[in-house]
Structure 1
Amino acid sequence: MSADRAVLDRALARGEQEGGSVEFKERLTKDLHLSEGRLESLAAQLRHRVLSGDGEATYVVGVTDDGGVAGIQPDAFSETMDVLSLLAEEAGAHIDDVQTWDAGDTDGIVGVATLREGAVLDTDDDHIVVGTAGHVDHGKSTLVGSLVTGQPDDGQGGTRSFLDVQPHEVERGLSADLSYGVYGFDERGGPIRMDNPDRKSDRAAVVREAERLVSFVDTVGHEPWLRTTIRGLVGQKLDYGLLVVAADDGPTKTTREHLGILLATELPTVVAVTKADAVSDERVAEVEREVERLLRDADRTPLSIERHGVDAAIEEINEQVVPVLTTSAVTMDGLPVLDELFERLPKTDHDADGDFSMYVDRTYSVTGVGAVASGTVRTGRVEAGDELLLGPMSDGSFREVEARSIEMHYHRVDEARAGRIVGIALKGVKEADIERGMVLVPRDSAPTPVREFTAEVMVLNHPTRIDDGYEPVIHLETVSEAASIHPAEGQLLPGDSGIARIRFKFQPYLVEEGQRFVFREGSSKGVGTVTDVTPAE
């Protein structure tokens, strides 16, 4: 719940006035307030409030007509927001923000909804998603923080704090989970950034105003959290990778590990040499040569943006050609080049025309809204009000749910398409029942979860050989699950490719042919592609 009640107190103090923009509602119900005749009347009232407020209205929910705080139960508040959203749509407006508080002596809540004129954001844009990777303290989060704010770093990683999501991460200067950032570009290609990414309203404003959006999935550089990094690079529907290498440190074992994951998933990647301000020009040139050797050793072609230009980088970037540039978040050198790249790089192909699917990456609960499942839309599109299936549960079953509302970087949208990072508020399920690795699909689909599938696998690294029954962790979409590998030929050696049967150890998941995955256990690592999900006879 919101800690600062000033917004509520101001709305109550202004009160309902004939020509004012504030409206009090104790609660709204679908049966009563969406009935014939009532809907039109309430929509006209809402339209009047929005026009009176020069395009913005404030609805206080959970209060009596005279402004007395009554409070309503969370389920009733959720239904009220559903009805208010429909009324706003009818009136040519949308809900822009919702804040809630305890109602005091009662166990209910009171809330303030801000409504704005105009339809909810049209998300049919050229939105790209970039996943960052690189060794700890090589400047991933700092670089992204400076990109999304336009602010130079203080030399101590100050701008990275805009992306960290846990207090202990800020204290230690290490990221321990995925974090997200966003900025965009206007119709002329000029950047639209955030003054303060810690303010939800700043992020929402970027989404609302930008013609083109760039979202960052900032992964984890510290070795103990490599599993989280793999989840970020495999489990999100990324368009591009951004690998950072610090000029004062050069490529490390973790750099090679992260590069291997990026290349194994065939993700077009840019390498940024960071911290150029901290070393001599000779050292920068030395690290650039090390990066180029690293790429050539991985059978990739480095392309120096300094030598060949941005046009060449945009034209040539693919799974084989990797543009390289030098940057400094302190002096901001190289960041305008990254701006131009991200403004011009094409959206990679996503299956926007197929049926909707989204693997769950995170879950949380919002008072007055309920359970929220967060992730990247994998295929198709989803609209608020869609009837969906969530699962599989541990027994392989799916649960019927409804997409109550959709948010993208704190901005409410009425639909989301493939490649968007969104949070979907779900009706019909508790947050405790949603787990990472579950999938959301249309209710009229017939998803078949599997415990076993066949795949073509390649062993990238292993100290000896992979024998029948070897048990690594499989990272497929947002699934991270122990599984046993059963090579068709009985064993696989480092560098070998072959067919194998793979069985999840604990429960079934939704797996489809063509999906790529990474498997890892200790220093062992490999990749694979699902070739058959037919149950073994």
Structure 2
Amino acid sequence: MASIFTFDPDPPRVSSPWSISESSTPQSTLAGNRLAIRTCSSATLRSADHDSLSDYGISKLDPEPQEGPTEYKLHLLLRPRRLYTYMSTGHVVAGSYHSRASVSTSFPTTPSSYETAMKPQQTRSTHSRQERLQHLTTQLLWRLQQSSPFHSSTATNNLVLPLLPDMASQSDAPQRPARLLPGLEESQGALYEIGVADDGTFVGLTQDELEESLGNLQIMAGSLGCKMDVLRRVVVGECEWEGDSVESHIEGLWVAEALVSPDLDYYRAAPKEGDASGVEKKPVSEDDHSSTGQIRVSITGPSIAGKSSLLGTLTSSSLDNGRGKSRLSLLKHRHEISSGITSSVAQELIGYSGDSSDTVDVINYASGNVAAWDDIHAMSVGSRLAFVSDLPGSVRFSKSMLRGLISWAPHYVILCIPANCDDGTASGSDSKPAEQTTEIDLALSYLELCIKLEVPILIAITKMDLASRAGLRNTLAKVLSVLKLSGKKPAMLPVSGSADKVAGLQRIGTVEGGEVKKVIDAMAGDTLLTVPIALTSAVDGSGIEKLHAFLRYLPVPAKPSLRTIDLSKAQSQPPTGNVFDIDEIFAIPPSKVYSISSDQTSKQNQGVVLCGLVRYGAVSIGDTLVVGPLLANPHWQHVRVVSVRNLRLPVRKLTEDQVGTIGIEPISQSDEPPPHLSRIRKGTVLASLPDPVPLHTGFVATFSSSEFASAESPPLLLGGNAIVYIANIRTAVKVTCVELAENEVISTPPSPAEPEFFCFDGDPDRGQINGDSRERRNADIQKAIDSTDAAEDVHITFSFVTSLEWVEIGSRVLVMPGASTLASSAPLSGSGPGGLSGLEGFVGRVRVVI
């Protein structure tokens, strides 16, 4: 599934292999999902403070799982083990690093042979010891990430490597990193079975070896910002060995189980004066967020334009077979695969590396060592990331399309228009030219909508492998005509040669990159005026390299085009705090949530992850914010941020204009009822706003009178309902007032509760009378709008029908009158009733909030 959010509904449990009943060890408690563990001091192992193997009734554990948070280790020593003359647990299992022990169960080993065997191993360098410690720490990090349910975490570029125990004992050597390693906030921990072979055989360690192994595990855990607790230690046998004085020593063989988990209490506590830990807790810095340039692009167009196939080729560098093979990895639902029509928004990440003046490599799933978005982040550092959304094309799913086009605030839109949708085929052929004409009209409706929204456009003429010369000419003529009427300047790119089509799937050459740079330089910073046009095909690869070049070199606007606020006529300024627009909500079962709060009191407080865009400021782990408006009282809930992801990359902070996911937990206030995060919905915000936070029941929007001048505009009825899109808000509104030129005000029609709406048998048909009056009123409105000067504005008042919202003055608003009716009654790929495509709407600005 292609999505910004990844969640494993059933991640591997931190379940002890010692538990015969398969219950988790340690057990989860109700209070804050804390882990109830039997902690034992690892400073000293006393004979009275241990278990015996006979207490468990088992002879070995199940084999070590290849994946999951459980790791078996014979030992964690950085030195070779001693030789034993006898071990009751049998021979030492081979294959472990530094395991050179030789055991004889039937005859003693002479001192000379012992010394001969040990001398070559004592010369191992400090360098190799450090390498082993680093390898073990990386392995521990991977096991910790295995129990994280929220997101994949594969990149380890920020790993703080530990020092050797003798070096770490110095007073100036920090024992912990300044901050918890990003990606470990919601880890449930990792279990280490020390003294156990990979097949589950109990081998055991002597007391000093076990102590040293636990000490090294403590150093490894500390370097990752984690803590270690010993859950159990068990005597599994005994051994005999000879010391330097040829004196026999008989000791017990021990195995231990230790839990390594994030030390959230330590990082949550404020630093104290005279803290001897040596940790400097620095404020959030630039190192805590992704500094790689990011561009957001939405791909839109008719359903037959091949948008998903084009994105599949861009992300996998594999050509399509003409039947949608390259798009299969993007589709989320079974009906999308069977019908070939996308109904949801799919999102993918593409990276670019290399000097912009030389050949640039494309980083996608075809690149080496790339298995997830985290790997794309790691290989694209210092260059560019392209976050691409594939939007539905059918007007039946216009709600999802408009939400992806507006809520995600793309920097650019790639409008896909099939080259064969207007090839002028004879009416008697099988290609049905009437339907093709409908598709080109729908494509032009998409183009007009993007122009209205003032989003920079890049037109991709797709399916060039199927295009005829006449059809391509007709399609380009209609596209250029719309651009000319809109005052846009088209920039046609030359067709690529056949020799470099396949090579362009994985790199951007100097020739193709140079052609794209010329077009970008000609824009002179005005991305709205110039509309590049590229001819592409996902089947033969033509134009793919140019699209990669555009994604790499297009300038990122300082502000998203859909969020540019014009406050020349506004009555208030935008908030100075943090605002995170919420577009998706994911609830996580409590058993999967590792909360940093120890006062969680209700089972209803499930973990919640929010997806969206940072409109203003920045959001960091530990911030205390409010989320709302909620459909409850109070309308705003205080929460704490517990985890942050930037396009699946674990970070400490999301900065302005970055897309990501944020995990939150509720904060109970003394004067508030118990929190209910389940009431968070799309269209709300996570913000630090002044208290009390305002709630709005409606707004007044300003439209240019030219918006209503077209004969093809849908009717906007006074007293009627419409759907509005404002930032991340999509909701139903009612038109209550229209203010025309010269302050002419037309109010809402009478309320349905008034007596004139009631009639009896014998009374005149008041419904017909009121209907005629309403039609005359709307006719008067349209007549007044038509007579208004095109340079003047029309002010329309809307009231929210079902909810309260938080609306920012100056925001762009898209009003879709009767959009749901048009979309539902429209055919699968065609126009709605009355010649309308279902994409017609009015674009304005919020002038006043109510």
- Residue 173 of structure 1 corresponds to 340
Alpha-carbon deviations, 1:308-341, whole Å to 9, x = none? 9423421315223211110011111111111111
From 386, 391, 396, give the equivalent of 2:628.
391
- Aligned runs of 1:442-521 on 2, under 5 Å? 442=688, 447-457=693-703, 458-459=707-708, 465-485=715-735, 486-489=737-740, 490=746, 491-492=781-782, 497-520=793-816, 521=818
For residue 373 of structure 2, what is the amino acid of its counterpart? Answer: R
Structure 1 alignment gaps of length 5 or more: 21-46, 64-70, 76-83, 104-110
Distance 1:125 1:455 in 2: 37
- Residue 520 of structure 2 corresponds to 314
Contact 2:183–2:651 under 8 Å retained in 1: no
Secondary structure of the residue aligned to 2:392 is: coil
Distance 2:323 2:346 in 1: 19
Deviation at 1:267, TM superposition (A): 0.7
From 43, 52, 57, give the equivalent of 2:140.
57
From 581, 587, 591, give the equivalent of 1:359.
581
Contact 1:142–1:153 under 8 Å retained in 2: yes
- Residue 441 of structure 1 corresponds to 687
* 1:90 and 2:178 are equivalent in the alignment: yes
- Report the CA distance shift for 1:61/1:181 in structure 2 as closer, same or farther (over 3 A): closer
* 1:368 and 2:593 are equivalent in the alignment: yes
Secondary structure of the residue aligned to 1:483 is: strand
- Report the CA distance shift for 1:16/1:204 in structure 2 as closer, same or farther (over 3 A): farther
Deviation at 1:280, TM superposition (A): 3.1
- Aligned runs of 1:180-259 on 2, under 5 Å? 180-189=347-356, 190-195=360-365, 201-210=371-380, 211-250=383-422, 252-259=440-447
- Residue 527 of structure 1 corresponds to 843
Alpha-carbon deviations, 1:18-68, whole Å to 9, x = none? 459xxxxxxxxxxxxxxxxxxxxxxxxxx99972337553375799xxxxx
- Report the CA distance shift for 1:18/1:175 in structure 2 as closer, same or farther (over 3 A): farther
Alignment TM-score, normalising by the size of structure 1: 0.78
- Aligned runs of 1:262-273 on 2, under 5 Å? 262-273=450-461
Deviation at 1:134, TM superposition (A): 0.1
Secondary structure of the residue aligned to 1:361 is: strand
Matched residues, percent identical? 19
From 547, 565, 586, give the equivalent of 1:338.
547
- Residue 296 of structure 2 corresponds to 129
Alpha-carbon deviations, 1:77-120, whole Å to 9, x = none? xxxxxxx99x975378443797879x9xxxxxxx9999xxxx97
* 1:275 and 2:463 are equivalent in the alignment: yes
Distance 1:181 1:426 in 2: 25
Distance 2:798 2:350 in 1: 40
Contact 2:144–2:187 under 8 Å retained in 1: no
Distance 1:498 1:363 in 2: 36
Deviation at 1:361, TM superposition (A): 0.8
Deviation at 1:261, TM superposition (A): 2.5
- Report the CA distance shift for 1:237/1:481 in structure 2 as closer, same or farther (over 3 A): same
For residue 624 of structure 2, what is the amino acid of its counterpart? Answer: E
- Report the CA distance shift for 1:281/1:56 in structure 2 as closer, same or farther (over 3 A): farther
Distance 1:424 1:243 in 2: 31
Contact 1:484–1:502 under 8 Å retained in 2: yes
- Report the CA distance shift for 1:465/1:3 in structure 2 as closer, same or farther (over 3 A): closer
Contact 1:180–1:217 under 8 Å retained in 2: yes
Structure 2 alignment gaps of length 5 or more: 1-7, 13-64, 80-129, 151-158, 161-174, 192-258, 263-285, 423-438, 496-513, 564-574, 595-606, 667-674, 741-745, 747-780, 823-837
For residue 516 of structure 1, what is the amino acid of its counterpart? Answer: R
For residue 185 of structure 1, what is the amino acid of its counterpart? Answer: Y
Deviation at 1:10, TM superposition (A): 8.0
Distance 1:193 1:414 in 2: 24
For residue 336 of structure 1, what is the amino acid of its counterpart? Answer: E
Secondary structure of the residue aligned to 1:472 is: strand
Count of residues in Structure 1 that have an aligned counterpart in Structure 2: 479
Deviation at 1:16, TM superposition (A): 6.7
Distance 2:185 2:378 in 1: 13
- Residue 108 of structure 1 corresponds to none
- Residue 12 of structure 1 corresponds to 71
- Residue 44 of structure 1 corresponds to none
- Residue 408 of structure 1 corresponds to 646
- Residue 37 of structure 2 corresponds to none
Distance 1:472 1:279 in 2: 39
- Report the CA distance shift for 1:446/1:256 in structure 2 as closer, same or farther (over 3 A): farther
For residue 194 of structure 1, what is the amino acid of its counterpart? Answer: N
Greater share of strand: 1
Deviation at 1:209, TM superposition (A): 2.3
Deviation at 1:122, TM superposition (A): 3.6
For residue 71 of structure 2, what is the amino acid of its counterpart? Answer: L
For residue 383 of structure 1, what is the amino acid of its counterpart? Answer: S
Deviation at 1:443, TM superposition (A): 5.8
Which region of structure 1 is more displaced relative to structure 2, 286-295 or 7-16? 7-16
Bigger Cα Rg: 2
Distance 2:690 2:297 in 1: 32
- Residue 280 of structure 2 corresponds to none
Distance 1:233 1:386 in 2: 29
- Residue 21 of structure 2 corresponds to none
Deviation at 1:301, TM superposition (A): 2.4
Alpha-carbon deviations, 1:243-280, whole Å to 9, x = none? 00011215533323322321122111100000101223
* 1:296 and 2:484 are equivalent in the alignment: yes
Distance 2:9 2:699 in 1: 46
Distance 2:179 2:529 in 1: 51
Deviation at 1:201, TM superposition (A): 4.3
Alignment TM-score, normalising by the size of structure 2: 0.51
Distance 2:185 2:537 in 1: 36
From 475, 479, 482, give the equivalent of 1:287.
475
- Report the CA distance shift for 1:387/1:278 in structure 2 as closer, same or farther (over 3 A): same
